[in-house]
Structure 1
Amino acid sequence: MGELFEAISLPSLLRSSIYHPSTSGGVYMKSQSNRRSFIARSGAVAASAGVIAASAKSYGRVLGANDRLGVGVIGAGVIGRAHFGVINNLKEKNNLLPVAVSDCWKTRADQGKEMIGAESSYSNYKELLDRKEVDYVVVATPEHWHWTMTIDAMDAGKAVYCEKPLTHTIPEALAVLKKQKETKRPLQVGVQAMSDDSYITARDAIRKGVIGKVIQAQIEYVRRYDSKKGPWRVPDEVEKYQSKPADLDWKAWLGSAPQIDWNPNHYFEWRCYSAYSGGICTDLFIHRITRIMKACDLLYPRRVVGMGGIWQWPDGRDLPDNIEMICEYPRGMTVYVLGTMSNRVGIDHLIRGYRGTLKFTKEGWVAEDKDGKILAEHKKTGGEDQNLHHTNLHNHIRNGETLNCPPELGLAGVVAVNMANESWRSSKVMGWDSKNQKMVPADTLSLSHEPEEVTELPS
């Protein structure tokens, strides 16, 4: 894959057959601001069997007074406000300086500034990127803007914490990873459960053969929404803002998504529409599939099926309100991601091997053989906690601590969930064209049914 990144130019990525301007957000807009020189020595990029590893070497850098980290937040909506809470929690402990908040709705940007005690607020995120005091940027916007803002931030010399998913589409994720390799900027993907050590310790146990040859994994994400609202509907907000707020830049919010008149449903309920989001798969399942990928040394799936529909809330959304996905991986295993937004009854999160089964619990995990004998167990430290995930990025910037969710893992997750969505949309099994780094109908490829040698992901 390392050679491929050198060979594929950004324009060719965007001309890919899986890039749909009608459903992909953001355009490539290289920041004109001067690149910061806060990194004095870059981290080495490790490559192994086509997998580019996130560097664990120090990004030695010049920080503010007393090793302070200046932070800027792009996006002051619901997710952005969750990050405001994290910043306030860690402000003193991790020596953070809130510098600026940006949102295309200036009222929200101003509110965010007050919430974290930042110095400035902007409606144009590039003004935030121009601030020399900003060392790292949190991207907490709708999915269709992730790649543009992340690339611009890295071009401006900033480290980035990008909310999940890394990007809206596969070509965008490839472009982000390519840019990260060019700039050497630290990039943490916001799948915060990766800061729960259950998954990396499970991986170590699996590598040691504790449960034997791994064959299958299952995991779920279940919710039960109100019968009148459905997933992500907020009727009170929609009703309140039938007219666009005067200080909300609607054109900026749309980016390169289809240019439509003000629509409060699209603004407040963007996860229901494919122009801005991948819905359940990219917003929820990304949390689950990433856990299994890390535990089982998985990167790109061989085949993916997505099954579901708009079954309970036919309310104008164009993404399924119930969906499930099945991924077949080259190592010779299948991953089931089961879910519903209509029923909260869950299933066990577990990995099945020939010798035993590893089951994740609230306390960590336990591996048992077929007779229930405990083969190994782990009491976790950490958890699905944004405070820990931000702290991991802070430690990476300061002393080279290994990132818990580097962009390589973020890209692999984007590939899996986008293949599931495309399978649902097209009613076809999707295959991964590893040579050309894109998804295509599986029946157009000569895909093996035999297991391949496992390539261990970098620590």
Structure 2
Amino acid sequence: MSSSSTRRTFLKKGAIAAATTFAAPMFLKAATLGRGQPGPNSRINVALIGNGLIMNGHRGYFRSRENTVVAAVCDVHQGRLQSALDQCRKENNACQGYEHYEEIMERSDIDAVVVGTPDHWHAALSIAAMRAGKDVYVEKPMTLTIEEGKAMVAAEKKYGRILQVGSQQRSERAFHKAAEIVRSGWIGNVKEVYCGLGSFPAPTDFPEQPVPEGFNYDKWLGPAPWEPYHNERVKGNYGGGWRNFWEYGSRKNGDWGAHHYDITQWALGMDHSGPVFFAPADYDQPYQYYEYENGIRVIRDWGDRKGHMIRFVGDEGEVRVSRGGRIDTTPALLAGKPLSPSDTRLYKSRDHRANWIEGIYTRKHAICDATVGHRTATVCQLAGIAERLNRPIKWDPKKEQIVGDPAAARWQDRPRRAGYELPV
């Protein structure tokens, strides 16, 4: 690795911002206008890191809002970076582009950061941003490993930042209603939950290809092990690409599990706890599942979900819920039944990103903060560990430790390449 001074010089030379030829208008940092938090009339300067598929929606959202300004974009792929920069300069011609995220962290005028990179970069970028005094919206799953999640929770508390994990189903009406129905006991004691995650192709060793010009592949790998470049390894593709590889994610457990297991945790009141047992497929049943201490079993890709993404089965009824506002219940009247004063009312958000922005102004925690995101990611990661090792895993959710299996416990963290240590 190069020295800090050499690295800083290189970063400065690499910034697309240097190509800007016009005078940049001044944007005041929102917090300076509100004596420690943004004033009601201030605008939030946002930086977008990782401008692949998922960031397309975020970029359009934050460009269009009156109270946010996209002040910086960052990507290790020069083509994607330039495209994002061109778009954002339509609203703010002072928007600057960077190959290296470190320069964004040094900018005191950046209030908030959106992290849309592959999963293996989530923790380092989020912690670095919080340490730099910036609030964070990080895509799901929040982390790649359990120990990263613990570090994220500690950083959120230490630096007093507002963090939102992009598990946006919590801000969708049907999922919110389904969780309240379950938590209020309308379907009795929950026995099983069926979640549809789907599958990815098996991970493949691809032959080495030349690294394309304008792509910093080493930086893209970051803390992950070095592997020969191949387009399929780095490609952003909801049906595969980098999501196929254990090095960068938890495959379908981390992809759709981060959504559906998150709603399951919420509905079962487990946001500060978790399951105690994880079984791979073909352990004692043909399907993968996990169980809570109270015996509730959550089953992946098995059972009749009756056309829905998630099905909660209780001893007095059931709830079936999907995106698009779809919710069905047995008895049918439960879906439209209003809550009584004695029923459980859960945190209400109808716009996930707006909920985060509101938190930046009010300093009220977001609907899916670091603790929530960590507990959900832990479920995804433990399911992935059981799948990779092809053996059951016992988990202590209080101590946050794999029980009775030292070899499996080593997977609670992963080695990081030199120079990419996790910030503190």
Report TM bin, short chain: 0.7 to 0.9
The 3-state SS of whatever aligns with 1:79 is helix
* Alpha-carbon displacement from aligned partner over 1:204-256 (angstroms, at most 9, x marks no partner): 33343222222222121347x8xxxx5899xxxx99x9432332222211112
Residue in structure 2 matching 1:290, options 262, 281, 286: 262
Q: 2:361 aligns with which of 388, 391, 398?
A: 398
Tell whether the 8 Å contact from 2:119 to 2:249 is kept in structure 1 after alignment: yes
**8 Å Cα contact 1:192-1:389 kept in structure 2:** yes
Moved over 6 A (4+): 442-445
RMSD: 3.6
Cα gap change, 1:326/1:261 in structure 2, threshold over 3 Å: closer, same or farther?
Answer: closer
Counterparts of 1:256 and 1:360, CA distance in 2: 37
1:222/1:346 Cα in 2 relative to 1: closer, same or farther (>3 Å)? farther
Cα 1:185–1:219 change in 2 (3 A) is: same
Does residue 302 (structure 1) correspond to residue 276 (structure 2)? The answer is yes
Map residues 321-340 of structure 1 onto 2, 5 A cutoff.
325-338=288-301
The 5 A counterparts of 1:31-70 are 61-63=36-38, 66-70=41-45
Matched, 1:409 2:372: yes
1:199 to partner: Cα distance:
3.4
CA offset digits 1:152-181 (Å, max 9, x no partner) = 000000000000110011111111111111
The answer for the alignment partner of 1:243 in structure 2 is 210
Q: Aligned residue for 1:215?
A: 191
Other structure's SS at 1:259 match: coil
Q: How many percent identity over aligned positions?
A: 27
SS of the equivalent of 1:66 reads: coil
Matches within 5 A, 1:341-356: 346=307, 349-356=310-317
Q: Distance in 2 between matches of 1:197 and 1:347?
A: 15
SS at match of 1:420: helix
| SS across alignment from 1:332 | coil
Match of 1:165, as an amino acid? P
Alignment of 1:234-273 (within 5 A): 242-268=209-235, 269-273=241-245
Contact 2:192 2:296 in 1 (8 A): yes
CA distance in structure 2 between the aligned counterparts of 1:146 and 1:207, rounded to whole angstroms: 31
Counterparts in 2 of 1:436 and 1:207: CA distance versus 1, 3 Å: closer
Instruction: Provide structure 1 residue ranges, at least 5 long, that are not aligned to the other structure.
Output: 1-30, 41-58, 309-322, 380-385, 446-459
Within a 5 Å distance, the mapping from 1:49-448 to structure 2 comes to 61-63=36-38, 66-88=41-63, 90-92=64-66, 95-117=67-89, 119-222=95-198, 230=201, 242-268=209-235, 269-298=241-270, 299-307=273-281, 325-338=288-301, 346=307, 349-360=310-321, 362-368=324-330, 372=331, 374-375=333-334, 377=336, 388-400=351-363, 403-434=366-397, 436-440=399-403
User: How far apart are residue 293 of structure 1 and its match?
Assistant: 1.1
Secondary structure at the counterpart of residue 398 of structure 1: helix
TM-score (norm 2): 0.74
The CA deviation string for residues 351-398 of structure 1, in whole angstroms up to 9 with x for no partner, is 122222223255453443xxx46345369xxxxxx9921111011111
Q: Could you tell me how far 1:324 is from its partner in structure 2?
A: 5.5
Q: Which has the higher strand share?
A: 1
Are the aligned partners of 2:194 and 2:310 in contact in 1 as well (CA < 8 Å)?
A: yes
Cα shift at 1:68: 0.5
Cα pair 1:142 1:270 within 8 Å, conserved: yes
Letter in 2 for 1:99: A
Give the whole-Å Cα distance in 2 for the aligned partners of 1:84 and 1:231.
Answer: 32
